[in-house]
Structure 1
């Protein structure tokens, strides 16, 4: 039977890819490093409500439990685009079949989403300690955007798929295939369910491809699956999920333990809460459970990122290369969307995010009155410390008197509600603890009541 024009075009495209890669055959099995993952890395960009903390570059955070994150490099960029719009959004980190990494990202700087752009930013990295081979790859020739890339290995093709959001008259997912993240096949529609969609994240587990995405009609996140991963082969299998006023950018990750999964969702706007998370023991079932916000702490100001498993050696290497923050945040136990901050020199807890976001950053230093204790120095007002005055907590400059040093010193103890958290007893009024009352900080005696003990319990993150 003679070849149709469609068959000829498809074979010609495959031939072009083979030529571009020198006829090389990629490995069909993942690196052994994949089986040894014991920690996680989170790649993201940053935004804050008043834009003072916006950063359209690649940021990294690490975690040993996949829930509580510590930014690297003092939450400064680790790499920044030097072409296109000179900014990125939606970074995606993929561990390739050879165990190294590739980073893909939307070529867009800022919050104006009307610009057409056919390119993605791309970097190579052996260990996320350095980034090489920076380039932009053109995904299509349409008058549309190229947003929110995700990538995954398709064993049946011996290639990677790059899936992204675009518009060809409707909001759809497009796909291009590649062997080297330099040359890509012609774009084609990957998922067009009859309603507009945005922000696919696709994870391959065994022989099943799981895709989570946002339905723009109802604003909910849905899960779909396919046994082949081929274009237009997915079937929805979950009910819609949403928390807050709006949600997008679903992020699906299998636990390193091999048991259980988590799903993250990014708030639609930086003026809302930044992330929500769900868990399930069976990703193939419609059974996601919303996690309490006290169970997780996203990276500070993080937006639309990706999570990848890493080994213990890679975790140690990232910390050695980029360093952990020189500051901490204190999360309220019973109001876990609120963090200790100063405002007009008053200590209080407020719902995050807020500006200036630095108001919640503290250097935990040896106690000013006793090095066995701790004192909290403001990051954005160095030399000013949290101290009690008339039992109320203020942020005041140190006058280096014995009275001030004592007022600004606390003894850190196991959390009164949860021993894995912390409570802080006043150094010079030791029957009183740091607590919040009507969101304002003070020191008070703490009784046996659950509410008081929760008010005096904080997570150091």
Structure 2
């Protein structure tokens, strides 16, 4: 067989210095094949994403990061700002992907596209190397093909039979519709000639792989036939060997499947990103990946970063988790999610407090700094991020956003005591400081302080404090 043709990468445009730690390098000897190449030492997760909001106020086409200890509830890093942004091509990215390489370091891939100009047909992808996701080096743009079409949602996996990495992406070939293509590489710089990896005969995009799970390889993708996420499987990694087998899952129009294996149980999670409505993640779970059936995860159990789109999730070690928080920092603000309406978050609108369905703009109307209580430092006051001179206070029992006038009355009305959630002790409820028989609750989606007596009242008065 003749050697595959080689397509050179664009030269590096951006460089940050960094080196793999001894701990990270040692992990390279403990790699096991599987989704995102988990290590025995892994105990947390990192998410990569870009951001879009309904009116564009929270839109940014750089690489954003968040961390989690359970893969369900996420802490955005760097105040939900990008940690690195492409400097060539379209000058922005979509669909980032993070993978730990065989040497224990990371590689980051992304679509070369800024915004939604779907006619921008880049044959290149963005690539960075990183020892620790705190620095990013050797930025380059490998060219994957010479067709007049795109290279969307690149991902990668280790193909042991070829002793190379495989780059999987969506593109339109001679079939006239999107298929999943593959190139092989040893360094994410020089790549082999492209091949069709998966073509079921209709439009498919956003391939995500779980490799070597009990001897089977799984491919999830967005299907144009179902509008949702469908799985295929094969006992090899050969192009053309995958056969669809699973039921389709969707919540509205759903794309960008991300498979995540729990680090503490046999549970698998499948994340999907909706485009109707814009920018909402939903999660499903399965205890057996081979079953091809998925159960929706209760929205109370997970919270994704605000405005996040098309995520990638990779396992990391405990020290890597701590080092990412130390390098980039946790947000200085929180969001509050309703217990019995978990698609809704506390926000202010026209200076009144309410719970509204995510996503919305201005998204900063749902961000709060929980500061020491103005009347009692053991309590809490809610300072608005978008209007920092204003705090939530009750007035005639209704909650509204007012300017702190410095009076004792305002301080009393703007102070609350955080207690165990009245409907779920793992959540939170907030008791009024100067009306101690009343708690914050929603009624008709508006926030107020009321006495709490029924199960419905308790659910209305319970919130999660997250990001």
TM superposition score normalised by structure 1: 0.93
- Give how far 1:297 is off: 0.2
Ranges in structure 2 where 5+ consecutive residues have no aligned partner: 10-27
The 8 Å contact of residues 212 and 222 in structure 1, kept in 2 or not, is answered as: yes
1:63 matched to 2:74 = no
The 8 Å contact of residues 33 and 99 in structure 1, kept in 2 or not, is answered as: no
Match of 2:264 among 239, 257, 275: 257
Match of 1:435 among 441, 447, 465: 441
Q: Structure 1 residues 158 and 346, CA, compared in 2 at 3 Å: closer, same or farther?
A: same
SS in 2 for 1:185: coil
SS in 1 for 2:115: coil
The 8 Å contact of residues 30 and 98 in structure 1, kept in 2 or not, is answered as: no
- Give how far 1:363 is off: 0.2
Cα distance in 2 between the residues matched to 1:12 and 1:432: 72
Match of 2:233 among 220, 225, 234: 225
Per the alignment, residue 21 of structure 1 pairs with: none
Match of 1:357 among 352, 363, 366: 363
The 8 Å contact of residues 121 and 135 in structure 1, kept in 2 or not, is answered as: yes
SS in 1 for 2:457: helix
The 8 Å contact of residues 28 and 158 in structure 1, kept in 2 or not, is answered as: no
1:18-417 to structure 2, matched below 5 A, reads: 30=31, 34-168=39-173, 169-206=176-213, 207-244=215-252, 246-269=253-276, 271-272=277-278, 274-417=280-423
- Give how far 1:417 is off: 0.6
Structural RMSD (CA): 1.6
Cα distance in 2 between the residues matched to 1:414 and 1:342: 24
Cα distance in 1 between the residues matched to 2:105 and 2:197: 26
- Give how far 1:258 is off: 4.8
The 8 Å contact of residues 247 and 293 in structure 2, kept in 1 or not, is answered as: no
Single out whichever of 222-231 and 421-430 deviates more from structure 2. 222-231
Deviations along 1:313-348, whole A, 9 cap, x unmatched? Answer: 000000000000000000000000000000000000
Corresponding residue pairs, total? 440
- Give how far 1:383 is off: 1.7
Cα distance in 2 between the residues matched to 1:101 and 1:128: 7
Cα distance in 1 between the residues matched to 2:212 and 2:325: 29
Answer 1 or 2: higher relative contact order, Cα 8 Å, separation at least 6: 2
The 8 Å contact of residues 29 and 97 in structure 1, kept in 2 or not, is answered as: no
- Give how far 1:389 is off: 0.2
The 8 Å contact of residues 213 and 249 in structure 1, kept in 2 or not, is answered as: yes
Per the alignment, residue 23 of structure 2 pairs with: none
Cα distance in 1 between the residues matched to 2:169 and 2:4: 23
Ranges in structure 1 where 5+ consecutive residues have no aligned partner: 1-6, 18-26
Per the alignment, residue 430 of structure 2 pairs with: 424
Per the alignment, residue 20 of structure 1 pairs with: none
Cα distance in 2 between the residues matched to 1:116 and 1:348: 43
Q: Structure 1 residues 70 and 28, CA, compared in 2 at 3 Å: closer, same or farther?
A: closer
Cα distance in 2 between the residues matched to 1:59 and 1:303: 10
Cα distance in 1 between the residues matched to 2:4 and 2:77: 45
The 8 Å contact of residues 46 and 67 in structure 2, kept in 1 or not, is answered as: yes
Cα distance in 1 between the residues matched to 2:40 and 2:231: 25
SS in 2 for 1:274: strand
Cα distance in 2 between the residues matched to 1:178 and 1:209: 19
